[in-house]
Structure 1
């Protein structure tokens, strides 16, 4: 997948939609927003997701 692609992924049991900011060999840096302040505090609206874990193109 290319940078800028909108994707869905699962984080702590919830499904989120985000945008690929950077692509690594086996993972992606994804920027996203969450209404949950605990998730924002923990991840700062960025997360690295393994390609094996699952990132799905919208």
Structure 2
């Protein structure tokens, strides 16, 4: 997948949709938003997820 692709992923039991900001060898840096302040405080709207756990958003 390319930078800018919208993807879905599971983080702490919840499914989120985000955008690939950077690609690494086996993972992606994904920018996302969450209505949960605890998730925002912990991840600051960015997370690195394994390529195996990311699906392209429909």
What is the alpha-carbon distance in structure 1 between the residues aligned to residue 51 and residue 3 of structure 2? 14
Gaps of at least 5 residues in structure 2 are none
Aligned to 1:49: 49
Gaps of at least 5 residues in structure 1 are none
Following superposition, the deviation at residue 12 of structure 1 comes to 0.1
What is the alpha-carbon distance in structure 2 between the residues aligned to residue 32 and residue 50 of structure 1? 15
Q: TM-score, structure 1 length as denominator?
A: 0.96
Superposed structure 1 runs of 4+ greater than 3 Å apart: none
CA RMSD of aligned residues (A): 0.5
Count of residue correspondences: 57
